[in-house]
Structure 1
């Protein structure tokens, strides 16, 4: 039986927690699919995941942050990603599926919460589904089996420290 995990909150570590679970699953020869929404830049995890044959990574974002309102291209890419996840999650082909930053995609209006809930409700019974990102909608929290909120207590960003290679990206 697969469960639904949600990693949310304003603290650091949501994607890191999801990828830790991916690493554990790969150690047991499980098959993993990772979809990254909004992340088109060069992140260290991209290089690490390429070292494993049982993982598929697809990205549905442009190589820049969205400042202000997303544009048509952002919406198009996110909806492509959602449709791809719908196929993957229902196929039963993967043991673990990660929808990285899907909560933020909903928050930005790239697709709606009902579309995300449809993916969740149509998942294969043995597929473990992990959804990350700030702003998890209450409707998703209600249907999830596990919800972890990362809370920022203190962060060096507030002192002007920029993201560092190998640590934040």
Structure 2
């Protein structure tokens, strides 16, 4: 057991408020879910939120798409699904590059307060989006724009640039025990 804290464990930060770069990475569940939770929090506070998903296909109708659409939060699938299901990886790479151009334009426009780049580490790892260009865009975004990048295996250079990095670690997963994905809970 532990006693509740009676003294604040930190001093109030004195730095400036600015757009933050957050990275959710690791092999555990919850990277996209954390990003979507942050998007909901931001939207609830009146921030303008835009979500891009680099693996989901355009027109996808997963639970997050339905919820964000109901709330008026733009969400766009930029890919063609899981790579192991792709019939043409060159076409998948082209979709990622074209999607990155749309996401980069939104990021640099200043029209959005929070831009979620969900599953963006995958096209970076596959070399479909040049890492240097990605990092340059993150560094060139308007000062007020917050960005969340999700996906396994985030490159070290991205981690170094980030203000906040959370690594999700799998402790136990139902899928490993033969339980299939549950609609509305995880996929």
Which category describes the TM-score, using the shorter chain as reference length?
A: over 0.9
Name the counterpart of 1:43.
62
Q: Taking structure 1 as the reference length, what is the TM-score of the superposition?
A: 0.93
Structure 2 CA distance for partners of 1:21 and 1:43, relative to 1, 3 Å: same
Distance in structure 1 (CA, Å) of the matches to 2:122 and 2:79: 12
Q: Taking structure 2 as the reference length, what is the TM-score of the superposition?
A: 0.85
Residues 88-144 of structure 1: CA deviation (Å, up to 9, x unaligned): 111110010000000111112221211221221111110000000001000000000
Give the unaligned 5+ runs of structure 1. Answer: none
Distance in structure 1 (CA, Å) of the matches to 2:176 and 2:61: 23
Q: Do structure 1's residue 100 and structure 2's residue 124 form an aligned pair?
A: no
Distance in structure 2 (CA, Å) of the matches to 1:83 and 1:16: 24
Deviation at 1:68, TM superposition (A): 8.6
**Which residues of 2 match residues 9-158 of structure 1 at below 5 A?**
9-40=26-57, 41-53=60-72, 55-62=73-80, 64-67=81-84, 71-158=89-176
Mapped contact 1:7–1:148 kept (Cα < 8 A): yes
Aligned length: 167
Distance in structure 2 (CA, Å) of the matches to 1:59 and 1:52: 17
Distance in structure 2 (CA, Å) of the matches to 1:90 and 1:26: 19
Residues 24-77 of structure 1: CA deviation (Å, up to 9, x unaligned): 011112111100001125421000001112x21111111x32129861211111
User: RMSD of the alignment, in Å?
Assistant: 1.5
Q: Which runs of 4+ in 1 moved over 2 A?
A: none
Give the unaligned 5+ runs of structure 2. Answer: 1-17
Looking at CA atoms only, which structure, 1 or 2, has the larger radius of gyration? 2
